[in-house]
Amino acid sequence: MPPPTLRLVSPTSGRSNPRRLHPSVQGKRQPTLLLVSGDGDSRIGFTRIARRWHNIKLLLAERGRDGLATAFLERPHLVVLDAQLPDVDGLRAVGALRRNPTTSETPVVVLGVDDSGRELERFYEAGADAYFTRPLNVSQVDRIVLGLLEVAALR
């Protein structure tokens, strides 16, 4: 049974202006994205964006430990995590994902609030593939997240 803070969110069909993955991903394992965020506003905002994407399985974890356990078990194609998790330092979470053989090559996107550049630099050094600041830019999230999912799904 999944941890109590883990939820599966089914994409909503029939949304206007849906985003689709490249046709070359067809026939592969359904792309899975894990969102790890203890911040309700971030979860809601990112989930609203993700619900526009077709054929993507979205898993949610509110705590860092639950998110890491889920990542190691489920092996998602992409992990999006909050820089400020309630129970685990975001930099340590990225490091743990990079050190584990099952997630060492899984793309990691960080949701942060510091746009000064120092935090961004620290997360890239830890192994993050992308860093978004809030408020989220929908077109940027679409472009980068779907691009990373496509590449990961083709591996």
CB 115 within 8 Å of CB 133: yes
- Under 8 Å between Cβ of 42 and 82: yes
- Four-way CATH pick for 6-153: 3.40.50.2020, 1.10.1200.10, 3.40.50.2300, 1.10.10.10: 3.40.50.2300
pLDDT at 141: 93
pLDDT at 19: 55
pLDDT at residue number 28? 61
Q: For residue 32, is pLDDT > 90?
A: yes
Rounded CA-CA distance 125/76 in Å is 22
- What's at 125, amino acid-wise? E
d(CA 79, CA 133): 16
What is the maximal distance between C-alpha atoms in the chain? 41
Residue 55 has pLDDT above 60, yes or no: yes
At 122 the pLDDT is 95
φ, ψ of residue 72 to 5 degrees: the values are: -70, -35
- DSSP code, position 134: S
Residue with tokens 């192994």: 127
Q: Is the pLDDT of residue 16 over 50?
A: no
Residue-range domain boundaries for the chain: 6-153
Q: What is the pTM of this model?
A: 0.82
pLDDT tens digits along 60-110: 999 999 999 999 999 999 999 999 999 999 999 999 999 999 999 999 999
Nearest to 33 by CA among 20, 47, 22, 45: 47
User: Which pLDDT value is given to residue 53?
Assistant: 86
Q: For 99-152, what is each residue's pLDDT tens digit?
A: 999 999 999 999 998 877 889 999 999 999 999 998 889 999 999 999 999 888
Residue 1 confidence (pLDDT):
36
Q: How many CA atoms lie within 13 A of 126 on its CB side?
A: 22
